[in-house]
Chains A and B, each alone.
Chain A
Amino acid sequence: MRKTEITGMFFYNHSGLHPDPIDYSELLRFSFTFQNVTEAFTYSDFIWNEKNILKKIEENNFERIIIAGLMPGTVKALFSKAMAVAGKDPEKVMLASFNDYCSGSIFKTEGLKKVLASMISGIPYEFTGIPDELPVNKATLVIGGGISGIQAALEIAYSNNPVYLVEKSGTIGGKMATFDKTFPTLDCAACILTPKMVEVNQHPDIRLMSYSEIKEVAGKPGDFIVKVLKKARKVNVQTCIGCGTCAEKCPAQAPSEFDAGTCMRKAIYIPFPQAVPNKYLVDSENCIYLKNGKCKACVKACPVPGCIDLDEKDSEVTINVGNIILATGYKPFNALRMAQFGYGQFPNVLNSLEFERLLNASGPTGGNIHMRSQDKKGNWIFNTTTPRPEKLAIIHCVGSRDKNFNKYCSRVCCMYSLKFAHLIMEKLPEAEIFEYFIDMRSFGKGYEEFYERIRQEEVSIIRGKTAKVEQRGEKLFLRGEDILRGEILENTVDMVILSVGLEAGEDALKLAKMLNITTNADGWFDEAHYNLDPTGTCRGGIYLAGTCQGPKDIPDCVAQGSAAAARVIQSILKGRLRDDVSSVSLDRVEYKIMELSTVPI
């Protein structure tokens, strides 16, 4: 029987976190309450090397060792070796990893004790820490109308259950809708996304709430009460026919968010021609009437009486749902933070989202690449009157893999940069293209093949990142080390594209607080279990999909969107769902351990 095995506890309190969030002294005390734990040590007690550990094993005749802490696997091989040398079973080295099982929230001592108790008793926490099941409301809330949210919403709707899809902006589609082509197959993003958007709009089980935000979440898993703020669109969604007469007459302009600021839109606008819902909305900040009470040009122009109501106020709706799927996506890294690349300073230094719009057939230049220029009012925009660039540089890892900005890799930039190179070649066959990269991360299905293909095309792919961009006359000057050729590469180009990384959305922290879930240091939502439950959270009935959990590409987002839906449909079919992980008390875990110890599992 496992319980009688003499166990040595080793607390690996060497996480590198300052201050260490874990109360090791209390855990040490707690582990001694188990009679099979005869000794317990921390990393600071003695030098953890083979000799000392072997001595401890032999002195105490440990039959089993538990290493507990953050990333205890770091030292596992040392213990396995010591056990093997001592002539014992190296497989008896167990890890009580505090990174698993809802990492962020479990740093509380109570939660860690639950894990420890299970581990020491030899019964996996997976069996002891199971929360109660609660009845579930069949309706589901999906927050975020990007590709992940769309996928999750459709998936649930296919099972004939109601879905509320709440989207912050005026249209669903998210970032993907702004892209021209997708890597590596180069099929056009709109061609594959717009049918799904249309389907969302047409599906009888999906209630689309665009231009709305989550204000408050109350209730418990299976029965959440959510307050949704419906921002005043000032255009009646039911009666608007999307004719665009209002926008024609509107005298106020603002940079178009959908076009990443590469062109101007009116104060009454539709984000893009294929927007869903295909209805106009008013940008209150730039509307002249809302600023100084005079204008109403749109109201006069509108052919539908009463459709535009500039005095409409924000309203609030309360909905009851059983499950919530978070698909809030990402925001691009703000390239202004990296002053050395001159973004915002030199007009022809672009970030990748701007360049996507430039490439897009429905973008400001109809898919032609032109230099940025100033319009009459001084706005920096793109149009087709300016010359086309002849030399372009693409800089990878802008804001990513950098301790000064974001330490993590943004996962998609390498591939979209390669895609850019290809599309530039296609549109400007005479152009010279330079790509500066560190490591080429073309890891997905068909990605390596795509990289190979771009290498065969006449693109200079240079290992070695540039340090800065300088403006020299009309041109941009870059200096870099071509590592593979062992030379300094000095280039004068017309346009520089910064492959900016992905960052957690600005509402992520707010939402995390509202939903009582955790994020990691970078602001990405924490999953329930890194490997086994990448779409769950430690709260019952709340799931993650897409880039709000961490950067990922479209197929991975879609897979996650569907995966998040799996749990939702499952709970509806069963009629019950699991409560929060934290709802299980230590007593419950201990009781469960006792119960399971007596029956074989």
Chain B
Amino acid sequence: MEEPRIGVYVCWCGTNISKMVDVEAVTKEVGTLPGVVLSKNYKYMCSDPGQDLIIKDIKSHNLNRVIVAACSPRIHELTFRNACEKAGINPYLFEMANIREQDSWVHTDRTEATKKAIDLVIGAIRRVRYHEPLQKRSVNVDPATLIIGGGISGMTAALEIANAGKKVYLLERTDHLGGQVARFDLTFPHLSSARQMIRPMIQRVENHPMIIVYLNTELKEVSGYIGNFKARLVFNGAEQPEITFGNIIAAVGLKPFDPSVIAEYGYGKFPDVITSLEFEDKLRAGRILTKYGKEPRNVAIIHCVGSRNKQYHEYCSRVCCMVALKFVHEIRAALPDANIFEIYADMRAYGKGHEEFYAMTTHKQIIFLMYDQQKSLPLIREAYRDDDCNMLIEMNELLSGIDIEVPVDMVILMVNMEAHDNVKEVVRTIGVSLCGNQFFIEKHPKLDPVATTTGGVFIVGTCQGPKDIPDSVAQAKAAAARILATIAQGSVPVEVTTAVVNESFCCGCQTCISVCPYSAVSFDEAKKVSVVNEVLCKGCGTCGGCCPAGAITSKHFTDRQILSEIEGIMSMSY
């Protein structure tokens, strides 16, 4: 092995690190360690000049190992690896020490934080010594795409990809396309017809030569890896021929919340307490009638049902306010004399044209009442016998501070959007993760809202978090752009840090085969040893962890590297 020539760079990250970690001390402390050729610090290592500094040093000092102590490797490992590559050394000869997220930001004692930073950098120095150059590889991309979910997001993505002449498999669990939008009467804020919008789209999807629609079909299993996936589909209980594709878009959407768990609203108990989607049905049927077949004289719309309340869901469902305002227009058109009460918490009319739409509804002679969606929900109860209404809503009205009683004949609950019951199975099948609210987790909440940590799997529309139609559509198109770009390129890079079997140590026990979740390890009957398929392998290292013979090495996470890191980290603790 060549003698390591290590360059250590400590980042200030403005004041993010330098405030809590004595950057100079760290630089000085590690500068004299064996193998360390130079040790420097800079205000922003990730910036262009910062990277240039590394590149220049690699060339002029002939460095063959680089360490940057900065933020989390999840943020900038790639940035610096690229910098190393540019300077002509293998990107895997780089290591990062996380002294921001896991040090300067979480500690309050500067001495301790500095000490910890030194430990972490030494760990990295010991580790990087045993790093080996790894070669980047890429795989060809199957130009077909699997889209799960035939709602508006899924269909938009499907059309976008298919219109570029690429094949799309569109999978839908139910017997029709259109998703939730198919149930709506009008869309906000232009009050255009949702039906007239979605129907041509469905027709176009169904008749598109490049889109294959599977209705009543469930995804049973997905195997393979980015660019080369395979799936088994189940149609009406019967398994279908396997399909192959290069990318997956999950557009499984969300489902309406069931308000019967909220005791105050008596949903299920009072027949005229209905959900927003049930009201959409009434609107489409043209008749807004109570259970007794009468036109309601008083209609109340309660916002945030199941939203913004820790007991149910803490998040905001993002669209209900506007849908409720849309209802106002529709009720006013159909029932010109009815009293309409809008019981809300905060009016979230944030989108293009939304605030103007909100202002328009105020001229529809409607009464807005504000309630505290966290502490005191309105109580719906039966009216007194001599009242000329069916029900009464008792609530504390926040804008006046008065306890009021609202006569109502019909109550519309603006229900929250929540995850489907089978969402866990879906994420398991396609290999993405869920956040606490059961939404699919995107790769980065800001800069990568449609990709996931699993290569080739994208998430669009409401399954990533509640959103309205334009935002869902924009996401669908964004995912399509990504996929079209990889298809245009024809290939994508794959995992480098895979496992590898040292045949001479392998005893043929096949434990590794039993633990591999990707079936990436197989048994070579001729040689009686295990073999790793490096394209299927995702580099979890479980096989390495359980190999009794120490025959499996996880590249970039070898025993030697990790043990040395432990040594390094502990070397200064006494």
Contacts and interface: CB of A to CB of B under 8 A. Distances in A.
B230 to A, nearest CB: 24
Given A407-B356, A559-B475, 4 more contacts: A127-B200, A192-B75, A407-B355, A563-B473
A165 interface: no
29 contacts: A71-B191, A73-B186, A80-B285, A94-B193, A94-B196, A95-B192, A100-B192, A155-B482, A158-B482, A158-B486, A159-B488, A187-B75, A191-B46, A198-B79, A274-B48, A443-B318, A463-B398, A531-B197, A531-B469, A532-B156, A554-B446, A554-B447, A555-B446, A559-B475, A563-B474, A567-B477, A570-B164, A571-B164, A572-B488
A94 B47 CA distance: 56
Interface stretch (A26-34, A261-269, A444-452): A444-452
A549 B474 CA distance: 12
Interface stretch (B87-95, B216-224, B253-261, B346-354): B346-354
Interface in B188-220: 189-193, 195-197, 199-201, 203-204, 207
B53 to A, nearest CB: 12
B163 interface: yes
Interface string A27-71: 000000000000000000000010000000000000000000001
A161 B351 CA distance: 33
A311 B366 CA distance: 66
Contacts of B207: 601
Contacts of A551: 352
B288 interface: yes
A564 B480 CA distance: 10
B237 interface: no
B284 interface: yes
Interface string A69-95: 001111111101111110000110111
B318 A444 contact: yes
A361 B15 contact: yes
A383 interface: no
A198 B193 CA distance: 45
A533 B477 CA distance: 9
Interface of B: 13-16, 43-44, 46-49, 51, 71, 75-76, 78-79, 156, 160-161, 163-166, 185-187, 189-193, 195-197, 199-201, 203-204, 207, 283-288, 307-308, 314-316, 318, 329-331, 333-334, 336, 346-356, 359, 398-399, 401, 439, 444-450, 464-466, 469-471, 473-482, 484-489
Nearest to B399: A483
Interface residues of A, number: 111
Contacts of B351: 409, 411, 550
Contacts of A563: 473-478, 480-481
A573 B484 contact: yes
Nearest to B451: A562
A198 B44 CA distance: 13
B192 A97 contact: yes
A75 B43 CA distance: 61
A452 B161 CA distance: 40
A76 B284 CA distance: 10
Given A100-B192, A439-B348, A530-B470, A194 B44 contact: yes
Given A77-B330, A535-B474, A560-B478, A191 B191 contact: no
Contacts of B470: 527, 530-531, 534
A155 B481 contact: yes
Given A191-B76, A408-B353, A550-B352, A361 B16 contact: yes
A484 B398 contact: yes
A215 interface: no
B44 A573 contact: no
Contacts of B186: 73, 76
Given A570-B163, A570-B164, A530 B190 contact: yes
A198 B48 contact: yes
A506 B78 CA distance: 37
A231 interface: no
Contact of A445 (B287, B354, B464): B464
Interface string A403-414: 000011101000
A80 to B, nearest CB: 4
B190 A71 contact: yes
Contact of B447 (A49, A75, A192, A486): A192
Contact of B43 (A76, A191, A273, A411): A273
B11 to A, nearest CB: 10
A484 to B, nearest CB: 6
A243 B340 CA distance: 67
A329 to B, nearest CB: 15
A478 interface: no
B379 to A, nearest CB: 20
Given A90-B286, A449-B314, A73 B331 contact: no
A196 B48 CA distance: 11
Candidate in B16, B75, B286, B331 with the most chain A CB atoms within 10 angstroms: B286
B334 A408 contact: no
A90 B285 contact: yes
Contacts, number: 315
Contact of A532 (B51, B287, B439, B473): B473
A601 B203 contact: yes
A73 to B, nearest CB: 3
A117 to B, nearest CB: 15
A276 interface: yes
A239 B51 CA distance: 18
Nearest to B187: A531
B332 to A, nearest CB: 8
A446 B445 contact: yes
Rank and list the top 6 A-B pairs by shortest CB-CB distance, nearest first.
A73-B191, A361-B14, A90-B286, A84-B286, A562-B478, A563-B477
Given A182-B446, A361-B16, A549 B352 contact: yes
A195 interface: yes
B75 A409 contact: no
Contacts of A194: 44, 46-48
A250 B221 CA distance: 66
Contact of B14 (A97, A362, A561): A362
A260 interface: no
Interface in A184-199: 185, 187-188, 190-196, 198
Contacts of A439: 346-348
A445 B439 contact: yes
Contact of A448 (B185, B308, B486): B308
Contacts of B359: 407
A130 to B, nearest CB: 11
Contact of B481 (A94, A445, A565): A565
A505 interface: no
A126 interface: yes
Nearest to A447: B316
A124 interface: yes
B474 A196 contact: no
A568 to B, nearest CB: 8
Candidate in B351, B448, B486 with the most chain A CB atoms within 10 angstroms: B351
A227 to B, nearest CB: 28
A524 B13 CA distance: 36
A569 interface: yes
B488 A274 contact: no
A201 B164 contact: no
A569 B79 contact: no
Contact of B193 (A95, A182, A407, A565): A95
Contacts of A570: 160-161, 163-164, 480, 484
Nearest to A184: B445
Candidate in B164, B283, B474 with the most chain A CB atoms within 10 angstroms: B474
Contacts of B46: 191, 194-195, 198
A524 B352 contact: yes
A188 B12 CA distance: 13
B99 to A, nearest CB: 14
A351 interface: no
Interface string A356-372: 00001110001100000
B324 to A, nearest CB: 13
A580 interface: no
